Amino acid sequence: MEHPLIIHKTLKTAGKKDGQALILVYMTIVFLTILLSPLFAIVMSERWLLERQRLEKEAFYLAEGAMEEAIQQFINAIANFQIQPNVARYPASGVLTTAYADSSAFPDGAQASGVISEAESSLRQITDPDGIAVGVKTYIVSATCQHPRNNSITVTLNQAIILRVLYAFQHAVFYNDDLEILPGPTMNFSGRIHSNKDMYLDSNNDLTINSAYVRSARNIYNRRKDTSSPAPGDVRIKKAGTGAYFGMSGLDSDSPTWNTESQSRWNGTVKSGVHGVTRLATPVAGSIQPDGYYANNANVKIENGILTKGGAILQEGVDIPAGTIITDTDFYNNREAHYVRMTNIDLKKLAGYAPGDTEGSPSFANHLPSNGLIYATRNDAGGSEEAGIRLHNGTQIYRNGGLTVVSNDPVYLQGDYNTVNKKPTAVICDSVNLLSNSWNDANSSSSLSARAATDITVNTAFIAGVDTTTSGNYNGGLENYPRLHENWTGKTLSIRGSFVELWNSQIAQGAWQYGAPQYTAPNRNWDYDTDFNINNMPPFTPWAVEAQRSAWWK
């Protein structure tokens, strides 16, 4: 047995060694802490910076979205008559708020704000290369976002935009939806052509476009939409700045060289989305509804056959000639397979002319609208009927400033229109139908051979709806934009004006050429009315509005 003193000494020695080891461990920890603290701080700092950069990037994208939303609201507000295209600030006070829905990134949602301020004091007028007068003005768009999870992070973006406004009727053809032009006979067309979506150009013979402006905000195709089979004809388009025309010959947005070859071939006449073409804002379908812009501003209204001017009912035989407004249901629309409850408006009688009156000596006062706007509608069509508005005796428009007729229903023009002392006129409606001077309602449900047309001339701008082409079901294209109901073989339909499509038809939705042919095609003598180049516009012509993006900065 060991001596107690030896055991104590041994334990004391071991304890001393353990204490030294513990001190060494502590010193090592302290040393490492001192050594690693800067590295740890760097790591934490970089992690914090990366997290902040991520949050800043998120706030950037939210602000960018608010900026784009502000621009779209701005141009749509101008197009839909809510503000004038020369405002100093939009909105007039406060800001536009863009709200983002809840998501995994933003469980409580997010929002950003935007405001648009003028960078120059007035709308300037310039002339585009094709001779069209365009109003331009520079604005600054500012958008700000405070990150929803870190209110110390705020991003503000700024972008200069050039507002461009021109009248919708300064286009020969303007489509808000896909534009399809596929004429059977040879067709020549001049004036601006624009589509906010895709454009399909082809021909069974030859389609010649005399224009320095053929634009699509998406793609341009040299084929039909409803089938991939090419038509046998050619599409010839004018090369800007020259008198030469060059065919498409299959060169379209599907071609790998489209981006560059389209510009060299036509010298800038033909451009699509890849060349920076953007959507032009225009009125929505709600503008033609009974509670919409046009109805609210019309000086003359005809509702279910009741005529008012300035809110006062006009009495036939007292204020206007008998038969100025007639309702009947004798018209059968073969395309729609429905009889039409029709409001017939005699425009000459509305101007005060009774039968037998000599020119310049009407028996009644002229009750065409003082502001040039007529609104007509029906809501009493039976279940087997469609509503319709028909204009006749419109050879001469007895109002110096012209006339615009608007309806949420299909409109039918019968006979020559605005051919004597031509005025600026427009028809804005659900769908437009043209009838010749020989039309007789009694033959409307008879065979096509009983509905022989005669030559007519129509001088007016149109805004109307179309239906949509689906696979194997062509909507008729631009060449059938005005709906026809007669045998036009060998006859000529002459139109000078503008063809604008802003919506799909809500009422007249019968398919083009449904069942047996309900008409035969006329000789189409159609063209743009160059009087519109000099701003000689029909009353209440809507704007087509564009915002061209320019420099941006934080």
- Residue 170's Cα: distance from chain center in Å? 14
Query: pLDDT tens digit string along 350-402?
Result: 999 999 999 999 999 999 999 999 999 999 999 899 999 999 999 999 999 99
For residue 422, the model assigns a pLDDT of 98
Query: pLDDT tens digit string along 291-326?
Result: 999 999 999 999 999 999 999 999 999 999 999 999
Kindly report which listed range (22-26, 205-209, 363-367) carries the lowest average pLDDT score. Answer: 22-26
How confident is the prediction for the chain on average, in pLDDT? Answer: 92
pLDDT band for position 39 (cuts 50, 70, 90): low
pLDDT band for position 175 (cuts 50, 70, 90): very high
> What are phi and psi for residue 491, nearest 5 degrees?
-105, 160
Q: Is the pLDDT of residue 6 over 50?
A: no
Residue percentage of the chain with pLDDT more than 90: 82
pLDDT band for position 102 (cuts 50, 70, 90): confident
Residue percentage of the chain with pLDDT more than 70: 92
CA angle 551, 112, 93 (to 5 degrees): 85
Q: Rounded mean pLDDT of 55-61?
A: 94
Q: Rounded mean pLDDT of 33-46?
A: 63
For residue 36, the model assigns a pLDDT of 56
Q: Alpha-carbon distance 445 to 158, whole Å?
A: 62
DSSP classification of residue 291: T
Q: Alpha-carbon distance 188 to 479, whole Å?
A: 11
Q: Rounded mean pLDDT of 231-236?
A: 93
Q: Is the pLDDT of residue 14 over 90?
A: no
pLDDT band for position 129 (cuts 50, 70, 90): confident
Q: Rounded mean pLDDT of 37-59?
A: 76
Query: pLDDT tens digit string along 437-451?
Result: 999 999 999 999 999
For residue 472, the model assigns a pLDDT of 77
pLDDT band for position 128 (cuts 50, 70, 90): confident
DSSP classification of residue 268: T
Residue with the two structure tokens 């000099």: 534
* N- to C-terminal Cα separation, the chain: 88
> What are phi and psi for residue 492, nearest 5 degrees?
-115, 130
For residue 334, the model assigns a pLDDT of 94
Q: Is the pLDDT of residue 13 over 60?
A: no
pLDDT band for position 11 (cuts 50, 70, 90): very low
Q: Is the pLDDT of residue 514 over 90?
A: no
**pTM of structure:** 0.90
Query: pLDDT tens digit string along 319-357?
Result: 999 999 999 999 999 999 999 999 999 999 999 999 999
Q: What distances in angstroms separate CA 330 from CA 76, 323, 537, 549, one per listed residue?
A: 41, 16, 35, 54
Q: Is the pLDDT of residue 5 over 50?
A: no
Encode 72-110 in three state secondary structure. Answer: HHHHHHHHCCCCCCCCCEECCCCCEEEEECCCCCCCCCE
